[in-house]
Structure 1
């Protein structure tokens, strides 16, 4: 046996051995008439611990390739050499080897736990049901008959909706744009995926904020991109950091969330916006502006968005209705140069043949109605009330044990825990106590932070959630959990 496991690979040694044996069985190297090599013998030949061989055999047994017979060793399963010659696919290996990287385990755990009815959800980045315009939607359904066709729509999305979005961004965000420069997407998440997959290639370097929502997304890793981090202070990203990174690494694309940034709530200062746009023009770096929150500005002042200041077509702009109307509507959009929009529309067609006609119809009716402005006014007021409740609860239950900057919009609250704490342990104990949040190191490199979402809960649940969180934090501080 000349083969040896490769210790330089990321694949665990026991999985390499299991794969080698499986291939040997298929090729006939290992005969079904004899047991496979004993664990100790194989361990010596491959220069590994016996426990590694045990794990490899258990892996093969779990997928039906081998049978462990007490007293006689490990044998090739008779099922795979029977009359039908059928075998069970190794689905575990398929799952692990796919090119699309899964969410990290803590993110998967949070999403699973937040489905529990008795858990207070301060983690999910969405609006509470009472903030949805449900009554307005019912009015649309009852008074506005659907007159659209039921076939595939325009590759870039329904033309009427794109016209309405064009009017919307002109009125609210001072962005002058043609419907031909708009692509309808299934929320901002799909927009990001399309941009990464279509406009970048493996090995390209991109820069994102630290901390940021993008930090938690595996889409950059799935695309084989190199990700650089830009620290955020009270005015947002420092343009000088962009210069430094670009001189060292040649940034191909810059991803920014300038208004009420997720998770810090920071608003990029006007002077820095101007400087970043100047750098984009100087170095030829495209900017992806993700803008889910600017409409929620509590004082009603919006922007100026980078796209509204962009005179050269350097900014590709993403927004959606997820954070201001309803996440389940799945309506987002990309605004950019026509050739870019056409490229992204072609890719979207390959994925889903275009967006569903019904949510586009609902979005068009609501976004173009006077009710939209009324809804936004209500939303700002209620989100500000929830933010204030969160601040009041932190002061009441935790005193000076936390520190934070107060966001002027958005739905997220970035909170520093002054005492040293393991954020994952804090999360696990909090879930047991019936409250969930997002650990800060899921969203960036800073230690000792948590993100609370005040858009998801009502005022009583925010108060109770912080009370439960404080109880857990105090127990940890006193070494009682």
Structure 2
């Protein structure tokens, strides 16, 4: 949301008038569009009403807007002395198209973070800058000259990176893959997007854990995919739930996040993994396993992925460097049968001719470097320490008001609020108080749950952020 710059030498009313004039000229406010009342716009921009009155008067004098008794203020339909022209109604255009906008709560979080106001960010599902292997990447860029061609690359991905990923997945995750069975993507979301566009049709049903981060992804609704939640217990989803949904809705695919599930942080038990895999093999349903968090395990050995148990090509495995290295590298991958990889690589070529060679070159060097595994060990310790600081602050500041299970990996705490609370009101109170987080209803849960990420804010801000969250929660519980 635009706001006037109070540090500028230009008067605030002139900044407001210029901003509205630009929006009119760009077609964002077509002829006849209503403008907010002076009082409402003043509240939105945090200025005095008299400042907005001056801005509106300046625009009226220039013939851009008009105020009519009983009808409020609007953009003039025709400018005096000029031939009538039709400006495209961009508002109508942006409401069209097949790609649906993000959920309202997610848009509100983004608006808050992009407003320029400082926030303590418990909403971001990414690593803080100091948790990324910045020194290792800087060393790669200075000590290894880049001599790769800068033309369009292989849409399946940079071959040295796919070779490095095959070795990395075998050593660290027990997954046997070749470079031909790996597709490099810009991250897990692009992998899922390609699957919805290339392997599914509108009306197809997908079974997902409930709650699940998949509920927050508009891409499924945009593609006409129907999402059905699977009940989850302490051991993960139950195969009987998959059978039941398949019988009712002819499920075409099962999307699972077995290790440190987002948002709950739970881990599927070893016995349940075998049962779920056997169930999907019996029904002929592919499993899409999203595994971004395994290497953040706070214990000695991360749980094995479902893909490591797969002997029949049932599991499509998705991973990325976003949660273990740096989201800005935009490096993800998918392991799948060759026929699937070829289909998705063809789609990638239609979309963008493949990912930029430069981040792929860095990622290949990083995975092969002697510093990457030590970075992972340091990351685990740092995340565990952040988790403990957050958990301690929640217990101290919200005794009896909130409960959670300590996750043994991942980036998030999944908290249940003891009391009636509205997610929208809670988020608004948090934003007013300088803290953002993700309400649980974004992930398909009932009101009264919240996901707090301990990976994004600096360590020294976590306690302060929980204090701000506690104030927002107490206010929401009272109203």
- CA shift digits 1:187-228 (9 cap, x unpaired): 111111001111000011111111111111111110011111
Once the two structures are superposed, the pairs formed by residues 414-453 of structure 1 within 5 Å of their partners are 414-453=414-453
User: Residue 288 of structure 2: SS of its match in structure 1?
Assistant: strand
Identify if the C-alpha distance between structure 1 residues 69 and 417 changes in structure 2 by more than 3 Å, giving closer, same or farther. closer
Shift of 1:105: 1.7
| Larger Rg over CA atoms | 1
Matches within 5 A, 1:290-369: 290-369=290-369
The alignment's C-alpha RMSD in Å is 2.4
* Counterpart Cα distance in 2 of 1:352 and 1:181: 20
1:304: how far off?
Answer: 1.5
* Contact 1:290 1:318 (8 Å CA) reproduced: yes
Matches within 5 A, 1:15-414: 61-62=32-33, 79=78, 86-115=85-114, 116=116, 118-414=118-414
User: Cα gap change, 1:83/1:430 in structure 2, threshold over 3 Å: closer, same or farther?
Assistant: closer
State TM-score, norm by structure 2: 0.83
The question of whether the paired residues in 1 share the 8 Å contact of 2:319 and 2:332 is answered with: yes
- In the TM superposition, residue 85 of structure 1 has moved relative to its aligned partner by 6.5
Cα distance in structure 1, aligned partners of 2:447 and 2:67:
46
1:157-212 residue CA offsets vs partner (Å, 9 max, x unmatched): 10000000000000000001110011110111111100111100001111111111
Q: For 1:117 and 1:134, how far apart are their aligned partners in 2?
A: 27
Deviation track 1:85-110 (CA, whole Å, cap 9, x = no partner) reads 74111211111121110001210111
- Decide whether the 8 Å contact of 2:30 with 2:90 is kept in 1: no
Q: CA deviation at 1:366?
A: 0.5
State the aligned residue count: 417
For 2:68 and 2:383, the matched residues in 1 are separated by 63
Deviation by residue 1:364-385 (Cα, 9 ceiling, x = unmatched): 1111111110100000000000
Q: Is the 8 A contact 1:61 1:68 kept in 2?
A: no
Query: Residue 458 of structure 2 aligns with which residue?
Result: 458
Give 1:79 deviation, angstroms. Answer: 4.8
- Give unpaired runs (5+ residues) of structure 1: 1-57, 72-76
Inter-partner Cα distance in structure 2 for 1:312 and 1:166: 19
1:255-278 CA distance string (max 9 Å, x none): 111100000001111111111111
TM-score (norm 1): 0.83
Instruction: Work out the CA distance in 2 between the residues paired with 1:78 and 1:229.
Output: 49
- Cα displacement (A) at 1:398: 0.8
8 Å contact 1:236–1:268 — kept in the other structure? yes
Distance 2:457 2:265 in 1: 18
